[in-house]
Chain A
Amino acid sequence: MTTSTMKTPAKSPYWAGVRDGAPFILMAVPFATLFGVIATDAGLTLAQAMGFTVLVIAGAAQFAAIQLMVENASIAFVLLAALAVNLRMAMYSASLVPYLGAAPLWQRACVAYLNFDQTYITSVARYEARPEMSVSDRVAYFFGVATPITPFWFGMTLVGILAGQAIPDAWALDFIMPIMFLAMVAPMLKSIAHIAAAVMSVSVALALNSLPAGTGLLIAAGAAMLTGALVEIWMERRRA
């Protein structure tokens, strides 16, 4: 009798999600702490830095916004560049439709709020491996994956904010952000098309660096997206 009740938690899709999401705590902790430190260093108040983390809940875009704000870019450019970093999530959203499209609206809204790289990648891998999962099991699994990550994301930002107020300028925190961006991008350079897009982005951004903050970046990003897509098509044709 005890064995059967003991087995239930392990079998429940929610707890399976919690188990699969737990390793990402390792990643959320340093990221969130650094965001808190850097946002404070840039001059945001505690409430503003926490507002970012809770409302936006997307690491790369949050760092991108802070970077452009440090450069005093116009508000429109800050928003455009930071939201462009998040455009990939439209793709995540589209690819979840076949699995979660039949769930109630409030559940889909909650999934949307929690739909970041780690929850998305982990959940889709599970849905693909287990096509027999019901829609409610899939939703439960998704929330399970988000459960260990989200509180650490919020909590460690707060720790970073409090620590950031105590860190002296001599620590040269200015370069932590470039390192984080490079670290996020490097593992994504997995095809010639990705590399071509990155090279185009760098070249155009450097060439247009004298334009007002954010302008060159937007042109560079547009050119780079186009480059990636065109190289991808070209590679497919070559293979075919």
Chain B
Amino acid sequence: MTYTDAEIWIIIVVMGVGTFLIRFSFLGLIGDRPMPSFVLRLLRYTPVAVLPGMVAPLVLWPGATDGQTDPVRLLAAGATVLIGSLTRSVLWAITGGIFTFYSLAGLTALL
């Protein structure tokens, strides 16, 4: 990380204020006016639109292996998605993914 202290604080404060304004938007300011339905549709997909794109390069080309694709990380990612879609539970998916990652990493270290 190459930011100055001031830059980090700018990120934190602007994110804090921005997040509050997003949460306050309709409830506090805009009130009970109907939103265009297409805007509502777009907003519904923001988490599944942002997070997978952020995570995909990290899974395929991890920085820790200098960008070399790592079977252990691939399998752990696959296990996380599988468990998460089957159980619909974030907690189980994290637990299963971390367990898979460290047991496979441990195994390869032993072999």
Q: Give A residues with C-beta under 8 Å from B.
A: 26-27, 30, 42-45, 48, 51-52, 55-58, 60-61, 64-65, 67-70, 72, 75, 78-79, 81-94, 96-98, 100-101, 105, 108-109, 111-113, 115, 172, 174-190, 193-194, 197-202, 204-206, 209, 216-217, 220-229, 232-233
Contacts and interface: CB of A to CB of B under 8 A. Distances in A.
25 contacts: A42-B1, A44-B8, A51-B16, A52-B12, A56-B12, A64-B51, A65-B15, A67-B54, A69-B8, A92-B23, A96-B26, A172-B64, A181-B55, A182-B59, A182-B77, A183-B97, A185-B47, A186-B82, A186-B85, A186-B93, A202-B52, A202-B56, A204-B53, A228-B41, A232-B41
Given A101-B27, A217-B53, A83 B93 contact: no
A58 B90 CA distance: 15
B19 A178 contact: no
A169 B89 CA distance: 29
A57 B19 CA distance: 9
B11 A65 contact: yes
Contacts of B19: 55-58, 61, 83, 86, 89
A142 to B, nearest CB: 11
A87 B52 contact: no
Contact of B48 (A67, A97, A224): A224
Contacts of B45: 193-194, 197, 224-225, 227-229
A161 to B, nearest CB: 14
A55 B54 contact: no
Interface of B: 1-3, 5, 7-20, 22-28, 30-32, 35, 38, 40-64, 73, 76-77, 80-85, 87-91, 93-94, 97-98, 101, 105
> Which of B14, B55, B82 has the most CB atoms of chain A within a 10 A radius of its CB?
B55
Contacts of A209: 57, 61
A179 B15 contact: no
B23 A205 contact: no
B15 A82 contact: yes
Query: Taking chain A's interface residues, is the majority helix, strand, or loop, or is none over half, making it mixed?
Result: helix
Query: Taking chain B's interface residues, is the majority helix, strand, or loop, or is none over half, making it mixed?
Result: helix
Given A96-B26, A184-B90, 4 more contacts: A55-B19, A69-B8, A111-B27, A183-B90
Contact of A93 (B1, B12, B26): B26
A51 B12 contact: yes
Contacts of A190: 88
B85 A187 contact: yes
Given A42-B1, A87-B46, A60 B51 contact: yes
B8 to A, nearest CB: 5
A87 B85 CA distance: 23
Contact of A221 (B25, B53, B94, B98): B53
Contacts of B42: 225-226, 228-229
A97 B50 CA distance: 26
Given A55-B16, A83-B18, A112-B28, A174 B62 contact: yes
Contacts of B23: 86, 89-90, 92-93, 112-113, 115
